[in-house]
Amino acid sequence: MKKILITGGAGFIGSHVVRLFANKYPDYLITNLDALTYAGNLENLKDVELLSNYKFVKGDITDESFIDNFFAENDFDAVIHLAAESHVDRSILDPMSFVKTNVLGTGILLNAAKKNWDDKSNKLFYHVSTDEVYGSLGETGFFTEETPYDPRSPYSASKAASDHLVMAYHHTYDLPVVISNCSNNYGSHHFPEKLLPLMINNIIHSKPLPVYGKGENVRDWLWVEDHAKAIDVIFHKGVHGEKYNVGGFNEWKNIDIVHLLCKMMDRKLNRVDGESAKLITYVKDRAGHDMRYAIDATKLQRELGWKPSLQFEEGLEKTIDWYLANKDWVSRITSGSYQQYYEQQYSKR
């Protein structure tokens, strides 16, 4: 049985990756390692926790002694590394926690793999990163795998540093690695501080919809389930030492997304068209706010055969429907009581 360690598997993207791998590959033993900080939620994985090929371990990737013993005891064949601090606003307020988790934590994982993988054949360290490492684009052009790094926030700088560490271990120690850099993800189980779940929840409760600056910043949007499928493809087919950009080919201005979201929500909530748009409130722009991200995922499509399955409007419809059907989940997340709730439910099983 192939032993796969997925770090950060209780988070937004991680939970979708765990779900896909645990269900699709019954001959893989999937170990989910997560520290269960504010964005890690075991409730995201209720549907897979009883599978015989899945187990959860609570642990911190910055605890070197724990990680060394963990690797030695489990003899992992591969790592899919998603554990990270990931919110730009939080990185501006507390940059050192991002340095600790994203840089030191990645280094500790790499070192553990190096020490325990004497035979590197059939081993893989897969590092999942972000398009934000490339900096900001003008009105034209796309990020490719050859775009120079130019991070602008403590978050993106910490992810850039971790990317460089991964490649350094590949070149210095011949560690088998791949890296993917993705655009903005959206979909179910997204922590409600991010743009789309925040706006959906605020519209439901008729709260203000805060938009940075004029809302003209552009992002490329990737449905999280398409991202999980891309990770699956890269994990199994990616060339060691290579980077792959993952994007949805869906560029939208933030303000246009919010208006579209308001229109969809008015229809689904049986409100008068335009009612939710009245909640839009422009706030002071974020420090160092990158103007535009756009991913060129041609390499991934051409070499490995992946392409996104959904256009943004269809994915947004599915995302809204999930949040409307799971208001209790959102309520527990926003109140901060979700871990206590889950532990109570879990103890009854």
DSSP state at residue 13: H
β-strands 28-34, 124-130 pairing = unpaired
Helices 254-268/312-325 angle, 10° precision: 50
Return the domain boundaries, the chain. Answer: 2-190+219-252+289-311
155 carries an active-site annotation:
yes
Retrieve residue 117's tokens.
């993988």
pLDDT at 348: 43
CATH 3.40.50.720 is right for the domain spanning 2-190+219-252+289-311:
yes
232 carries an active-site annotation:
no
Q: What percent of the chain has pLDDT over 70?
A: 95
pLDDT at 317: 95
- Band (pLDDT 50/70/90 cuts) for residue 341 is very low
Burial 180-191 (b: 16+ CB within 10 A, else e): bbbbbbbbbbbb
**pLDDT above 60: residue 84:** yes
**pLDDT above 50: residue 240:** yes
pTM of this prediction exceeds 0.85: yes
Catalytic residue among 34, 132, 226, 290: 132
In this prediction, residues 203-210 reach a mean pLDDT of: 93
Catalytic residue among 34, 131, 225, 296: 131
* Lowest mean pLDDT segment, chosen from 38-47, 232-241, 248-257, 314-323: 38-47
**pLDDT above 90: residue 346:** no
- Give the range with max mean pLDDT: 57-71, 79-93, 190-204: 57-71
Catalytic residue among 54, 134, 155, 342: 155
pLDDT at 281: 92
CB 231 within 8 A of CB 15: no
* Lowest mean pLDDT segment, chosen from 32-46, 106-120, 233-247: 32-46
pLDDT at 255: 95
In this prediction, residues 143-159 reach a mean pLDDT of: 95
94 carries an active-site annotation:
no
**pLDDT above 70: residue 349:** no
